[in-house]
Amino acid sequence: MSINPLKPVLLAAVMTSVISCQPQDSARHQEEAQKELASLKQDLKQEIAQLRQEVASIGAQVKEIHTIATASQQPQFRSLPTQSNLDNDGQLPFLGEAEAQVAILEFSDFQCPYCKRYIDKAFSKIKTQYIDTGKVRYLTRHFPLSFHPKAQGAAVAASCAQQQQAYWPMRETLFANISKLDDALYQQTATKLTLDMTRFNACLKDEQIADKIAMDTAYGSSIGIRGTPSFIIGRVENNRLLEPKLVVGAQSYETFATLLDNLMETKAAQ
């Protein structure tokens, strides 16, 4: 709706005739002008009131559209059944407190640019806010993708570093040098980390390491993981991951924080 543009003009004209001298001034003319002025004022009040109602209605509709749009942008997580033996009999690399009541299990590929994006943009904040504070236990499994030719070798190098309690610094170096993954990098990093090089090099050739990586990949595939990075996140009880959610992709820190906070609130309410 819009206000008739002539009415303010007419109102101004009538008001002018009332408050200024006019050549043919008379009592009758003044009375008619007053009536016309009152009528115009009433019409304008009604139109303004109706316009305000319509503006309020439009505002409510815009707010509703914004709410729907925001909700549609929220990541949708697929629920998975309870996962047993969360830490694979203590064989998985992990950070945080073993007694933490919420856990994240990561599946990653060292040649995956989206994994690196996640590491650069979200992981450090998750570590500071949730892992280092004892709220969350963080575990990892390998998921080298077949179209990343250097991912398998990098996973082997990380696994061999894990045997000497150096998985996390090796992992950090591998992700920082995603375009330079090769044996020279593995050797250089292992040396810098003062690993037993004889043991490290023997491990690189150990088929059992490759078998363990294949088991990680098979497990991930069995629960619906198709790409990296992927995560399953849930509450922990007796080394089981309860009501886990599958999170796919390099999601923002805020996405992880929201999910983790909700899980901790649910746990606290029980």
Listed range (10-19, 98-107, 122-131, 139-148) with the worst mean pLDDT:
10-19
**Domain locations in the chain as residue ranges:** 6-73, 78-269
pLDDT digits (tens, 9 = 90+) for 41-78: 887 888 888 888 878 777 766 665 444 434 434 566 89
**For residue 35, pLDDT beyond 50:** yes
- Token pair recorded at residue 112: 């995956």
Mean pLDDT over 207-218 rounds to 98
Q: How far apart are CA 192 and CA 39, in angstroms?
A: 91
Between 36 and 232, the higher pLDDT residue: 232
pLDDT digits (tens, 9 = 90+) for 173-205: 999 999 999 999 999 999 999 999 999 999 999
Listed range (17-21, 168-172, 174-178) with the worst mean pLDDT:
17-21
Share of the chain residues as helix, strand and coil, in percent rounded to the nearest 5: 55, 15, 30
Percent pLDDT > 90 in the chain is 69
pTM of the model: 0.73
> What is the per-residue pLDDT for 23?
46
Mean pLDDT over 228-237 rounds to 97
65-to-60, 69, 255 alpha-carbon distances in Å? 9, 6, 22
DSSP result, 181-250: -SHHHHHHHHHHTT--HHHHHHHHT-HHHHHHHHHHHHHHHHTT--SSSEEEEEEEETTEEEEEEEEESS
Largest CA distance in the chain: 117
Topology, domain 78-269: Glutaredoxin (3.40.30)
The single residue listed with the structure tokens 């992709």 is 249
> What is the per-residue pLDDT for 3?
54
Other Cβ atoms closer than 10 A to 81: 10
> What is the per-residue pLDDT for 53?
83
pLDDT digits (tens, 9 = 90+) for 78-132: 999 999 999 999 999 999 999 999 999 999 999 999 999 999 999 999 999 999 9
Residues sharing a CB contact under 8 Å with residue 172, sequence separation 6 or more, in sequence order: none
Strand spans (E) along the chain: 78-79, 94-95, 102-108, 136-142, 230-237, 240-248
